[in-house]
Structure 1
Amino acid sequence: MLIFRLLSPRDLCNLSSCCKSLCDIANSENFWLDQCEKVKVIPSSEIVQLRTGVSSYKALCRFLVEVMKPLVGVWVYQKPEFGNVVYVMPGFLSVVGCRIIPQEVGPLGIQEGRIMWSPVFEIICGFDGGSTKFFLNGRDRKDSCLFLGLFTGIEN
């Protein structure tokens, strides 16, 4: 059991396919809770809360490893002063990407005013942890729209 705690989520899945007894051990919720905590994308105190929205810690770990970990952070594409900056943050069983809108920064920096932002996309974890829903925010003439899309997890 100590060896199982040292394995990555992918290695744990591979090992569990070797035989029935290893599969039974690898399906333990405690092992997958440890794996979720090792990903370190969200605070450990929030992992138990997120578990209420998915079928198992294994499903939650899959979402954390394949979707949340690779995307969370600040993404810049050339010339950020033109608004090519997206901040991707964790939500409740989702990942939300927001475009940071360029604005004048006064002598006091950001403390002088609020940062303006616009939602770009949201990826929502399905109950089983394997399915995700991708929503792209946009405009159609003068109205804001939400477009359903397709998302495939990022392989490490």
Structure 2
Amino acid sequence: MNKIIEARIEADPNLPVIRTVRDFTAEPAQLFRAHTDPVLFAKWVGPDATTTRIDAWDARTGGSWRYVSLVNGVEYAFHGCFHDVRPDRIVQTFTFEGEPEGVVLETMWFDDLGDGRTRLRTQSLVDSIEARDGLLRSGMEVGINEGYAKLERMLNDGTA
């Protein structure tokens, strides 16, 4: 029987910040690659019912990205810029094109836990508590957990 691992998602009560933590059975370099290789990224990001098409992807400091998720025949586009890309950390912006004023500043850390395990920590900063609460109500928890479960399977079967 497979144990389902869910990410811990927490909203800071005093700041417009969401923090997510999840451990993976993988080396930090594998998780970094899964976040920077567009082919791999498209295979795991988002809910199970989502298909992702990468339109642009330049995963380097100063680069940018854009992808489109297809859900039940409807396209949802996202874009951003990579501000800092290095093996232990990625800093990027994230914008849902349906709400272009809602820019999220995301930082991801790949913490080596030893023994082939890595803790992925993310921090998402938005412009208000209301925007933070809207993200939490948007279904992001399902997308994060289903996406990370796909990523874990890819890491385990060697496709990531």
TM-score range, shorter chain: 0.3 to 0.5
TM-score, length basis structure 2? 0.33
Whichever structure has more helix as a proportion of its residues is 1
TM-score, structure 1 normalization: 0.33
> Which entry has the higher C-alpha Rg, 1 or 2?
1
Higher strand share: 2
